[in-house]
Chains A and B, each alone.
Chain A
Amino acid sequence: MSGLISADHLTIRLEGQAVLTDVSLSMQPGEIVTILGPNGSGKSTLLRALLGILPASAGRVTRRPGLVIGYVPQRLAIDRTLPMTVRRFLSLPRRVEDAAARDALLRVGLPDVETKQMADLSGGQFQRVLLARALLAKPDLLILDEPTQGLDQPGEAAFYRLIEEVRRETGVAILMVSHDLHVVMAASDRVICLNGHICCEGTPRVVSTAPEYRALFGLGTQGALALYQHVHDHSHDGGGPGHDHHHDHTHDHDHTHA
């Protein structure tokens, strides 16, 4: 395998229950891949296995030697008893120079929060600081576990635009988990539908028309999907020339929808 990181026929059992069965995937440099699945489908388990936190029950995870991973956890509850400024947080676990810390915060659009307590940040600011910390390690691969949970829709859209900008500037590969259809369509090169095993995968458009995908998400999201396609089709009217590729419509799409 020539990828950054790959899973080969990976099976994970937790307390005797198979949470993931025979999952194979590979990440290439610079691509954005989203894992999509309902609650309990093993999305977080897969990320934790790729990070090396959970041992494989069968199969294996292979990393390119020297691979640096930046991780943005789903939720980071900083205990109220632990005082922590943003600046101090950025120096964990490796101490970074002041200039590097300032650049990283600027990169994620938060110029004036260095001396603030982590506990005083808003949800969106908090996620951006987590991203800044992950970027300071100069990762080859960013792993984000539902990074926009708890953000409102504009905040979510802004966060994913930021992710795309970071990818464009640094060439970092991004693997993220979401249950949000809307976002997946907008910001991914490739989507993997997970429900204990890989149901289907491909470009967002291919996946959205796959019967496995429709079966997985059932009637509840049919409306949202139809709405997406509707809006998407219409955004062509307003789009300038050169907007031929469906996943390049991120911004138009987000704006129309919001």
Chain B
Amino acid sequence: MIITTITPMTMITPMLDDFLIRAALAGVGLSLATGPLGSFVVWRRMAYFGDATAHAAILGVALALATDLPVTFGTLAVALAMAVTVSTLAARGWAMDTTLGVLAHSALAIGLVAVSFVPGARTDLSAYLFGDILAVSRADLGFIWGGAAVVVALLAWRWQALLTATLNEDLAHASGLHPARERLVLTLALAVVVAVAIKVVGALLIAALLIIPAAAARGLARTPEAMALIATLIGAASSVLGLQLSLWQDTPAGPSIIAAAAVLFTLAAIFGRVGRV
């Protein structure tokens, strides 16, 4: 299934080695999910929320390594627990930025401490902090595309309700929708993306990949749908450009992707003025 996806790309870019193709496919697959999801993160001002969830995922990695469970399972569980905790506390009126600051940094620190007890895990962990997109296996690729497909399907299914609730929760309520349920959908999607993306771009860069392409797309779009689509394209382009840079200049791949996204954001900020008047 994966091989048939790879073949046409190999023909187009014969200079790319197999591992680079896999890396590019991983970045593109991830962008499918982070484009629309990142747009919601930007619209709802949840940037720090994405950050906190990603940081907490390190704790999940540590727990998974300690218990010999699959890493993705560990990150998914902890990211989800983190997201639900933050949502619950926020709903009870806790100050959001302080709560996130306490939880995110604690989870990251406790994760790093916990991992030090696991023999031989230290080297593994840096891969989860900064990502190792060049080491993506075919199984990883299946996981990333599968996770992205789940997130895209979830967002597409709830799209109208999510947008209405994002616009105004009372308005959504009056139309018979349940804003709390839509919040949970986003929380779930975020946890899934963090779990599948952590190996590719790393915990520290997930939030960047969620936010930078969406922020870049804002100035180029007139409707929410256009913004989500453009964010996806910018994310995919950043992945390919970043990997090219990495290949030519021997730079670290994950950060190169984010750097490419930052360049695209700057260009969009300079030249994009649509709908900003």
Contact surface of A with B, Cβ cutoff 8 Å: 48, 51-53, 69-71, 73, 76, 78-79, 81-85, 88-89, 91-95, 115, 117, 119-120, 137, 143
Contacts and interface: CB of A to CB of B under 8 A. Distances in A.
Contacts of A82: 43, 166-167, 224, 227
The 5 A-B pairs at the shortest CB distance, nearest first, are namely A71-B174, A93-B164, A82-B43, A53-B173, A83-B221
Interface in B30-49: 42-45
B222 A76 contact: no
Given A84-B224, A93-B160, A93-B161, A143 B43 contact: no
A81 B43 contact: yes
24 contacts: A51-B170, A52-B173, A53-B170, A71-B171, A71-B174, A73-B170, A73-B171, A76-B168, A76-B171, A78-B167, A79-B44, A81-B218, A82-B166, A83-B218, A83-B223, A85-B222, A85-B223, A88-B223, A92-B164, A92-B167, A93-B172, A117-B222, A117-B275, A119-B275
Given A76-B167, A92-B160, A92-B164, A83 B174 contact: no
Contacts of B126: none
Given A82-B43, A117-B222, A137-B175, 7 more contacts: A53-B174, A83-B222, A83-B224, A84-B167, A93-B163, A115-B222, A117-B277
A94 B160 contact: yes
A52 B170 CA distance: 10
Contacts of A71: 170-171, 174-175
A202 to B, nearest CB: 28
A88 B164 CA distance: 11
A89 B225 CA distance: 12
B227 A69 contact: no
A120 to B, nearest CB: 6
A81 B216 CA distance: 10
B69 interface: no
B174 A51 contact: yes
A156 to B, nearest CB: 22
